[in-house]
Amino acid sequence: MIRAVTTSYNGIHFEEMKVNRICEFCNEHFVAQKTTTRYCSDNCAKRAYKKRIREEKVASAESQYLSKLKGFDILEIQKKDYLTIRETMFLLNVSRMTLHRMIKDGRLTKLEGLKAVRLRKTDIDKLFDLKVSKTQENDEYRLPYFSDDNYYTVTQVIDKFGVTGSSFDGICKRNKIPKIQKGKFVFVPKDLVNKVFNHE
């Protein structure tokens, strides 16, 4: 709620804006003088800044680690029944933080009673077990494992094949090409996209 409060100084009346806000760091209620104020105090603002810097460092470290994992043999990983945290991060192309959220919400299950975390390969398979009918075929299409070799982003498709976003949406609907949302990006299987554009 925004309200104006009238104050006087030397006979001159001023209107000050008062805005009810919730601090983005401590979640406490406070009254701000600007609609853009995010924190209740300088202390919360500094602590939020330090937290953001820490998270950026962690994300950077995870990114560097994932880039080193490119040397993993993906075929060998796919043969395993149980995977480590790092192997799962590599297959799913996600950060450690995202992976822990997936474990917490039940999409992935870890084995109990072990010192090191191991994840069930069957749960990882289920994430990609989206069944999409192939065009003019009765068998089912199984999404490939997530990697740069297997997927385009929609932006990459637009640049590579010279189509607009809306026209590609229509192509996906006509040819039943699945879209996978990961963070702020949308991915599509390369094999299906290549097949469509090779025939159009």
Q: Using CA atoms, how far apart are residues 39 and 45, in angstroms rounded to an integer? A: 6
Q: Nearest to residue 80, comparing CAs of 32, 141, 124, 129? A: 124
Residue 60 is which amino acid? Answer: S
Q: pLDDT confidence of 99, banded at 50, 70, 90?
A: confident
Q: For the whole prediction, is pTM greater than 0.75?
A: no
Full set of structural domains in the chain with CATH: 2-39 (no CATH), 45-126 (1.10.10), 140-199 (1.10.10)
Q: What is the enclosing helix (H) or strand (E) of 178?
A: none
Q: pLDDT confidence of 200, banded at 50, 70, 90?
A: very low
Q: Which residues contact 98 (CB under 8 A, 6 or more apart)?
A: none
Q: Give the per-residue pLDDT at 43.
A: 93
Roughly what angle, to the nearest 10 degrees, separates helices 165-175 and 190-199?
A: 100
Q: Please give the residue that has the higher pLDDT: either 141 or 187.
A: 187
Q: Tokens in use for 122?
A: 């069957």
Q: Nearest to residue 188, comparing CAs of 156, 160, 161? A: 156
* Helices and strands of the chain, counted as H and E runs: 8, 10
Q: pLDDT confidence of 162, banded at 50, 70, 90?
A: confident
